[in-house]
Amino acid sequence: MKAVTGLGWGALILTLALAPLLAVDLILIYLLEDTPFRILSTLAMLGCFYLLSTILSLFVDALTGTLRSFVHANVPRLLDTILHGTVSGISLYVVLTHFPSIDISTLTVMAIVFVHLLGASCWLNRESSKEKTPLELDSIDQQIIHLLRTETIVSCVERIQHDYPDLPKRDVLKRVKRISQSNKVTEPFHGR
């Protein structure tokens, strides 16, 4: 009984998450189609479309992620966007062949695919901006940056070890090395 309740909550959350996209698609169909449409069969068709498109999009994301990791090259996000648009178009075409009672014009299909392409592009841009934002520096890293401005790397390591005795020396060395290389901090010049 609890599994059914959990599935009910999951379905409700998924419905609320997809409600704006569903509303946009219904408005597009309403505005671009001259003939009246059955709301329940259209909702069923759109639900199947979202399900198939999501499954295929997960496959495409896995494929491009694997490609990125094996090639060690930066695959452009434009390729991801094009692949997601292609997946949306194919998914909508497949679903429409299984719902012969729903007759949607090519213009409406293109508009729906464009909206999904735009949504995928915004989602991918948001994901890539998350990847590009650097992690916040903790207090130890900030102290290392401050110390490297006035002290040598060796004395900086010694001071951090003194201030944080529980921190292993290897971790301190890695932090100091990473920060000194990323900030290109050079050791201060001490006269001869």
Q: What is the pLDDT of residues 128-156, one digit of tens each?
A: 655 554 445 578 888 888 888 888 888 88
Provide the 3-class DSSP secondary structure of residue 33: coil
* C-alpha 25 chain-centroid distance: 23
Residues of the chain with pLDDT > 90, as a percent, come to: 7
Token pair belonging to 101: 């009672």
Element (H, E) at 176: helix 169-182
Residue 10: predicted pLDDT: 67
Among candidates 166, 125, 118, which has minimal Cα distance to 21? Answer: 118
Least confident of 3-12, 40-49, 73-82: 3-12
Give residues with Cβ within 8 angstroms of 188, minimum separation 6. Answer: 149, 150, 151, 152
- Residue 138 phi/psi, 5° resolution? -85, 180
Residue 191: predicted pLDDT: 44
Q: What is the pLDDT of residues 22-60, one digit of tens each?
A: 888 888 888 888 777 788 888 889 889 988 988 998 888
